[in-house]
Amino acid sequence: MKKAVRERAAKIKLLLLDVDGVLTDGSLYYGDNGEALKRFYVRDGSAIVWLQRSGIEVAIISGGNSPQVDARARGLG
């Protein structure tokens, strides 16, 4: 990696991510009772944990309330 890229990357302190279409595949899924479900990609979670361990804060935002998003956020720390 070029020195200039490393220097710029070292300045990153926070990564802010939207949920729908960024941390999910953007599809709509519904459970048997009609509840909306979300599908998260495991590798995104692994990258988030790696960033946190590297000292970078990670925050997620969503336009709605979702127990699945709350559970995923708790699972990632």
Whole-angstrom distance, CA of residue 7 vs CA of residue 46:
24
Integer angstrom CA distances of residue 6 from 2, 3, 42? 6, 5, 26
CATH class of 13-76: alpha beta
Query: pLDDT-based confidence at 1, cuts 50/70/90?
Result: confident
Identity at 74, one-letter amino acid code: R
pLDDT tens for 26-46 read 898 999 999 989 999 999 999
Nearest to 70 by CA among 31, 33, 25, 40: 40
